[in-house]
Amino acid sequence: MNRLVIAGTHSGAGKTTVAAGLLAALRKKGLRVQPFKVGPDYIDTGYHAVAAGRMSYNLDFWMMPPQHILQLFRHGMEGMDFGVIEGVMGLYDGIGSTPEGSTAAMAKLLNTPVILIIDAGGMSTSAAAQVLGYKSFDQDLRLAGVIVNNVGSEHHYKLVKEAVQAYTGVPALGFLPRDKSVVLPSRHLGLLPAEEMERHAEIIEKAAGLVQEWIDLDQVIKLGHTAGSLPPASPLAFAKGRPVKIAVARDESFSFYYRGTLEILAALGAELHHFSPMKDASLPENIGGLYLGGGFPEVFAGALAANKSLLEDITRRLKGGLHCYAECGGFMYLTESITVKNGEKHPMAGFFDGHTIMTDRLQRFGYVDIEFTGENVLGKEGQTARGHEFHHSLIDGITYPTTYLVKSAFSGRQWHCGYRRANTLAAYAHIDFWGYPGLARHFLDRCLGATG
């Protein structure tokens, strides 16, 4: 399997722009290229999809054991010519103050060479010292090449290249010139979806052109061919259950889904039917379950609120016992209302009491441990899982019982979430079912025999 890891010295070094440009450039050469993202990020995987023409997979040490990562990577590479794995944060940044769970750890697990993206703004020979530090920090990691970002001129790149190669022995594969118009934003801009996607496509197309012009693509491909054998990994062992129709909210307002989650649900027997919370008047008929993922309901709150017929249909069916799992944005959608930052209040489904309030301050961010303190649609009391939270909202006044005890992986702080009403579970934490197929199985088993 031909593959490379694209890592950065730090967040903001340019790895997402390089990865997206590289994916698009390889695609233009006729290669079937499969993107992957280390960590839980949904934004970068959206860029990958635009660049590669196919959904990206998240590979995450916190939310799935190493064997599941290997299984998912093998699964994702079936029929592909080349894999591009974009790292997270800096090369060695992991859980806590160790490289555990880092991009470097992922590269070693997947036995894959690393291309390091460095930001050469304001330096030349000093770049060699930086690369040397990254190379020597872990002798077991194969640092196969360097791409230099934020370069002022061809002469600037020549100075950096000569220093890096002379003092480290790591080949410089090319550069991207300093150009603020070729920077992919790290968060949603709040624009209309057509405007935002058009802007992203333009940036990626421009990045692909710069990659083709200034980076030695042939050498990059050759390095990908030197990737070692993957460690052995048995296919996931599970029995496909009886088919059950699951409605999945999927449009501009709800787009945060792990590809591994969707594919494990399908492999277990789910027939996934997408619908638009902004445009469809009702849920699909004859469904056994509803999956409301994350996204930006606050950005599209007006359009969501205007679709009263769907909100009423969802509330009616959930009250009637339809099984539902709602994550983050999906949870917000099921509350009484969403108040956006300008103070406007938009009515939502109202299945759960309580009101969602958007805040300037990030309310939760990071990995979490989850213990089920009561039975819900994903599992029984006492079961555990790991997830990730990232949200600028809080929900005020909710009175329904919780079934999650959530603990921050970093601070150790604990809180309750996982609200349950009838056959619905709603929580802020995102969980990747590829790491927890038993939760997916439990959800589908609960949905079997139930129709909406």
Q: Confirm whether 233 is domain-assigned.
A: no
- Residue 446 vs residues 231, 257, 331, 369, 450: alpha-carbon distances, Å: 36, 21, 19, 24, 8
In this prediction the pTM is: 0.94
Indicate if 44 and 172 belong to the same structural domain: yes
The tens digit of pLDDT for each residue in 150-169 reads: 999 999 999 999 999 999 99
Handedness of CA 304, 306, 309, 315 (dihedral sign): positive
Report long-range pairs for 97-105 (Cβ below 8 Å, ≥24 apart). Answer: 99/138, 100/61, 101/61, 101/62, 103/5, 103/7, 103/38, 104/7, 104/138, 104/141, 105/61
Q: In terms of C-beta density within 10 A (0-12 exposed, 13-18 middle, 19 or more buried), how is residue 304 classed?
A: buried
* pLDDT score of 194 more than 70: no
Interval 91-115 mean pLDDT = 96
Q: Confirm whether 147 is domain-assigned.
A: yes
Indicate if 74 and 13 belong to the same structural domain: yes
Answer yes or no: are the C-beta atoms of 343 and 355 closer than 8 Å: no
Catalytic residues: 328
CATH assignment of the domain containing 394: 3.40.50.880
Q: Confirm whether 395 is domain-assigned.
A: yes
Indicate if 210 and 267 belong to the same structural domain: no
Q: What is the predicted pLDDT for the residue at 196?
A: 74
CATH assignment of the domain containing 23: 3.40.50.300
Q: Confirm whether 60 is domain-assigned.
A: yes
Interval 292-300 mean pLDDT = 95
What string of H, E and C letters represents the secondary structure of the chain?
CCEEEEEECCCCCCHHHHHHHHHHHHHHCCCCEEEEEECCCCHHHHHHHHHHCCCCEEECCCCCCHHHHHHHHHHHHCCCCEEEEEEEEECCCCCCCCCCCCHHHHHHHCCCCEEEEEECCCCCCHHHHHHHHHHHHCCCCCEEEEEEEEECCHHHHHHHHHHHHHHHCCCEEEEEECCCCCCCCCCCCCCCHHHHHHHHHHHHHHHHHHHHHHECHHHHHHHHHCCCCCCCCCCCCCCCCCCEEEEEECCCCEEECCHHHHHHHHHCCEEEEEECCCCCCCCCCCCCEEEECEECCCCCHHHHHHCHHHHHHHHHHHHCCCEEEEECHHHHHCCCEEECCCCCEEECCCCCCCEEEECCCCCEEEEEEEEECCCECCECCCCEEEEEEEECEEEECCCCCEEEEEEECCCCCEEEEEEEECCEEEECCECCCCCCHHHHHHHHHHHCCCCC
* pLDDT score of 90 more than 80: yes
Q: What residues make up the domain containing 385?
A: 244-447
Record the tokens describing residue 224, joined without a space.
């990908």
Q: What is the predicted pLDDT for the residue at 278?
A: 98
Interval 66-92 mean pLDDT = 97
* pLDDT score of 341 more than 60: yes
Q: What is the predicted pLDDT for the residue at 372?
A: 99
The tens digit of pLDDT for each residue in 225-264 reads: 999 999 988 777 777 889 999 999 999 999 999 999 999 9
Q: Confirm whether 152 is domain-assigned.
A: yes
Q: Confirm whether 239 is domain-assigned.
A: no
Q: Confirm whether 293 is domain-assigned.
A: yes
Indicate if 251 and 189 belong to the same structural domain: no
Q: Based on the structure, what is the number of domains in the chain?
A: 2
* pLDDT score of 198 more than 70: yes
Indicate if 259 and 327 belong to the same structural domain: yes
Indicate if 40 and 97 belong to the same structural domain: yes
The tens digit of pLDDT for each residue in 367-426 reads: 999 999 999 999 999 999 999 999 999 999 999 999 999 999 999 999 999 999 999 999
Q: What is the predicted pLDDT for the residue at 79?
A: 97
Indicate if 209 and 284 belong to the same structural domain: no
Confidence of residue 204 (pLDDT cuts 50, 70, 90): very high
Burial 243-269 (b: 16+ CB within 10 A, else e): ebbbbbbbbbbbbbbbbbbbbbbebbb
The tens digit of pLDDT for each residue in 409-418 reads: 999 999 999 9
Indicate if 332 and 361 belong to the same structural domain: yes
* pLDDT score of 327 more than 70: yes
Indicate if 39 and 183 belong to the same structural domain: yes
Helices 43-52 & 15-28, crossing angle to 10 degrees? 20
Indicate if 93 and 191 belong to the same structural domain: yes
Q: What is the predicted pLDDT for the residue at 415?
A: 98
Q: What is the predicted pLDDT for the residue at 315?
A: 99
Q: Confirm whether 236 is domain-assigned.
A: no
Paired strand residues for 415: 406
Q: What is the predicted pLDDT for the residue at 451?
A: 44
Among 178-187, 327-336, 350-359, name the one with the lowest average pLDDT: 178-187
Q: Which amino acid belongs to residue 167?
A: Y
Contacts of 86 (CB under 8 A, 6+ apart): 5, 6, 15, 16, 19, 35, 36, 37, 38, 44, 48
Confidence of residue 185 (pLDDT cuts 50, 70, 90): confident
pLDDT averaged over every residue in the chain: 95
| Last residue within a domain, chosen from 191, 225, 259 | 225
Q: What percent of the chain has pLDDT over 90?
A: 90
Indicate if 41 and 75 belong to the same structural domain: yes
Q: What is the predicted pLDDT for the residue at 362?
A: 87
Indicate if 215 and 260 belong to the same structural domain: no
